[in-house]
Amino acid sequence: MPTGRVFNTAQMAARARKRLPRAIFDFIEGGAGSEIAVARNRARFEQIALMPQALRDCSAAHSEVTIFGRRYAAPFGIAPMGFADLVCPGTDRALAQAARAANVPYTLSTAATTSIETIAPIAQDNLWFQLYPGSDEAIAAGLMQRALAAGVTTLLVTIDIPVPARRVRDLTNGLAIPLRPSLRTVLDVARHPAWLLRAARGDRPGMANFVDGKGSLSGLAHAEFVSRQLSFPGLDWRRIEAIRKAWPYHLVIKGILNPQDAVMAERIGADGLVVSNHGGRQLDAAPSSIEVLPAIREACGDRLKLILDSGVRTGDDIARSLASGADFVLLGRPFLFAVAALGLAHGPAAIIDMLRAEFLNTLIHLGCADPAELGSDHLWPGRHLSLRQGSNR
Residues that bind ligand FNR (CB under 6 A): 28, 79-82, 109, 111, 130, 158, 254, 276, 278-279, 281, 309-312, 331-333
The rounded distance, in Å, linking the Cα atoms of 364 and 261 is 35
Q: Which is nearer to ligand FNR, 160 or 188 (CB)?
A: 160
In angstroms, what is the minimal distance from the CB of 309 to ligand FNR? 4
Q: Which is nearer to ligand FNR, 79 or 352 (CB)?
A: 79
Q: Sign (positive/negative) of CA torsion 107, 111, 112, 115?
A: positive
In angstroms, what is the minimal distance from the CB of 200 to ligand FNR? 21
* Residues written for the chain: 393
The rounded distance, in Å, linking the Cα atoms of 37 and 32 is 8
Q: Fill in the DSSP letter of residue 79.
A: P
Q: Which of 192, 222, 278, 365 is catalytic?
A: 278
Residue nearest to ligand FNR as judged by C-beta position: 332
Q: Which is nearer to ligand FNR, 33 or 382 (CB)?
A: 33
127-164 exposure pattern, b = at least 16 Cβ within 10 A, e = fewer: bbbbbbbbbeeebbeebbebbbebebbbbbbbbbbeeb
* Residue 366 three-state SS: coil
The rounded distance, in Å, linking the Cα atoms of 105 and 128 is 7
The rounded distance, in Å, linking the Cα atoms of 273 and 266 is 9
Q: Which is nearer to ligand FNR, 34 or 386 (CB)?
A: 34
* Residue 307 three-state SS: strand
Number of H helices, E strands in the chain: 15, 12
In angstroms, what is the minimal distance from the CB of 262 to ligand FNR? 16
In angstroms, what is the minimal distance from the CB of 27 to ligand FNR? 6
The rounded distance, in Å, linking the Cα atoms of 169 and 184 is 13
Q: Which is nearer to ligand FNR, 61 or 83 (CB)?
A: 83
In angstroms, what is the minimal distance from the CB of 12 to ligand FNR? 13
Q: Which is nearer to ligand FNR, 310 or 324 (CB)?
A: 310
Between strands 328-331 and 305-308, the pairing is: parallel
Q: Which is nearer to ligand FNR, 97 or 158 (CB)?
A: 158
The rounded distance, in Å, linking the Cα atoms of 272 and 265 is 8
Q: Is 62 one of the annotated active-site residues of the chain?
A: no
In angstroms, what is the minimal distance from the CB of 367 to ligand FNR? 28
**374: amino acid identity, one letter:** L
In angstroms, what is the minimal distance from the CB of 291 to ligand FNR? 14
167-190 exposure pattern, b = at least 16 Cβ within 10 A, e = fewer: bbbbebbbbbeeeeeeeebeebbe
The rounded distance, in Å, linking the Cα atoms of 351 and 356 is 8
Q: Which are the catalytic amino acids?
A: 278
